[in-house]
């Protein structure tokens, strides 16, 4: 469950969207941060083999398209409705992907996110936080060694956020997780590393190494950062280098 990217570039609409991106993560929780349009979602698309790219992307020793079977993906926009029950939402993608023991995996994933008792409820009846947790279960059942979570904390109420953060802490114990976020304020025990991107890698390293005003100033014109006993509080404004 180690993920490795070597000099990955992606062009979309004839324009470079990612350039020479290299990093590796193994059983780590990586927060992927950067301004709008920095290429965060495109990075996930490349790992999922959904856009053409140059360079090399490997999960363990698998560097071909087969690696996608080791990846669980939580998209940024979760269209509500039309998904039937929570069980169908979690089980069916795993089944269609040909996952062995799909039903057992779906059951295990639903228990892990604490929604097993809600398995017969319609997805449309879930709260924002519950929908995110159901979607994480869906990603876990269908793949799961490497989890790509696109903005899971957006559109979640404060209580849902607490539950999601608890779940993410549990998941990170034995997986590689990449999570995008616009927010750089974060609890100190969540991420192991931060990947700061703006088309290229601006910084990659331990949270303390990247969450520094001089590093963030490479992207943001205005940065104020404070480390509290609970975690980091970070306020940014204006991009210094619009691209």
List C-alpha distances in Å: 22 to 2, 4, 52, 100, 199: 14, 8, 16, 32, 12
Cα–Cα distance measured from residue 131 to residue 128, given in angstroms and rounded to the nearest whole number: 5
Whether residue 129 contacts residue 161, with contact meaning beta carbons closer than 8 Å, is answered with yes
Which of 28, 30, 33, 41 binds ligand ATP (CB under 6 A)? It is 41
- The tokens describing 171, both together, are 């998941």
Which of 23, 30, 42, 142 binds ligand ATP (CB under 6 A)? It is 42
Phi, psi (deg, nearest 5) at residue 17 = -110, -30
Position 152 contacts ligand ATP (CB under 6 A): no
Position 37 contacts ligand ATP (CB under 6 A): yes
Whether residue 97 contacts residue 77, with contact meaning beta carbons closer than 8 Å, is answered with no
Which of 7, 12, 166, 241 binds ligand ATP (CB under 6 A)? It is 12
Position 13 contacts ligand ATP (CB under 6 A): yes
Which of 8, 39, 102, 204 binds ligand ATP (CB under 6 A)? It is 39
Which of 5, 17, 99, 211 binds ligand ATP (CB under 6 A)? It is 17
Residues whose CB falls within 8 Å of the CB of residue 124, separated by 6 or more in sequence, listed in order: 80, 81, 82, 83
Q: Report in angstroms how near the CB of residue 230 gets to ligand ATP at its nearest.
A: 25
Position 36 contacts ligand ATP (CB under 6 A): yes
**Given the rule CB under 6 A, which residues bind ligand ATP?**
12-13, 17, 34, 36-42
């Amino acid at each position: 469950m180690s993920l490795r990217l070597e000099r990955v570039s992606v062009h979309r609409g004839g324009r470079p969207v990612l350039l020479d991106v290299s990093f590796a993560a193994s059983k780590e929780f990586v927060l992927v941060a950067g301004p709008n349009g920095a290429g965060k979602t495109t990075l996930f698309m490349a790992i999922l083999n959904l856009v053409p790219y140059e360079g090399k992307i490997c999960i363990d020793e698998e560097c071909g398209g087969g690696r996608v079977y080791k990846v669980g993906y939580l998209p940024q926009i979760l269209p509500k409705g039309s998904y039937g029950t929570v069980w169908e939402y979690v089980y069916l993608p795993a089944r269609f992907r040909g996952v062995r023991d799909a039903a057992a995996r779906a059951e295990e994933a639903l228990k892990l996110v604490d929604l097993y008792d809600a398995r017969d409820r319609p997805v449309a009846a879930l709260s924002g936080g519950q929908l995110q947790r159901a979607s994480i279960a869906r990603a876990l059942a269908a793949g799961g060694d490497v989890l790509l979570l696109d903005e899971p904390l957006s559109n979640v109420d404060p209580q849902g956020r607490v539950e999601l953060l608890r779940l993410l802490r549990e998941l990170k114990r034995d997986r590689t997780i990449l999570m995008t976020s616009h927010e750089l304020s974060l609890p100190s025990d969540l991420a192991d590393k931060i990947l700061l991107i703006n088309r290229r890698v601006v910084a990659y390293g331990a949270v303390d190494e990247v969450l520094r005003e001089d590093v963030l100033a490479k992207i943001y014109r205005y940065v104020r950062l404070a480390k509290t006993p609970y975690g980091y509080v970070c306020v940014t404004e204006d991009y210094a280098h619009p691209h």
